[in-house]
Structure 1
């Protein structure tokens, strides 16, 4: 199963010998929606490759307030966990399953060896760093320059893109937690977006138009 999923998601980026080795060395794990995959201050002995599902990467301040940084889709890895593994530091992020997800966990020693010995792995890791760096810059720009209604609409469009559907099943409280604001504010802004014909609201569902 692992080898088939790896070939489906990584054949265009990793060479066949490496895919076979990842299948042999990696640990296949399944997570349910809302499961914590990596937690803040966790010591990481592996890096995750996402085979199916979606994961959201979250930062937390000293008061426990959470802020969504970016989403991971099938075929991605979490570069923040890569950094922690390479630097042998504890995790600074929380990775939560946005939906039921399957991952293969690669031991740190293999990840480091492949980085030096395998060009396709090295290119994949460097490209992943660039993508995540761009997404973090985008998140910073949103915080600095966008009003909350613009941030909300951008969040909904990104979520729809990740889920590959225009209909998002989500509660107002979940959105509020991801955007570090109150449910009341989110409900008011969702109604505003609906009045602007950008979305349609249903019971725990939002259609992005």
Structure 2
């Protein structure tokens, strides 16, 4: 069983900026792992920051106009082109110069521009569902812009329970949450599972830590 501290030791040390992706299905714990990794890397003096994919959600008014609001979270409900452009900026901008990065505010269910600014950090942990996706419009360049990409998985029942909790906490009724999970989230999870073989490492979240698959 590995801790986040153990996993931090697997992140290579480089003179320039290192982009580490964490992909996986919704509810696997990608955000938690990314935060824990950065905490451990910073504790070791390695200067790390999380850059989540979620800030590239299209705004709700755009999704509503496209009739896609109920499918929010699927690959075509993100601005993949902007995500790729900002990953390129992270690659090309010298350490010490600012790169604004949007975040997603779950309280209002909308992205916020420039929620974090990457400047001096030499490790950027990019986490999101679709980092290894190659057969949907806009996503194919992502993998080539990451130095490594790990895949975090969890048992399907765990994913289901976490997603139900997430949606009810966000204001959906239990019935609405179940429809969202069954009709959208788990379908996305199946799509994302097909990208697992493209990862450099596969981790299983166990509840007590992480196991290498």
TM-score, normalized by the shorter chain, greater than 0.5: no
TM-score range, shorter chain: under 0.3
Higher RCO (CA 8 Å, separation ≥ 6 residues): 2
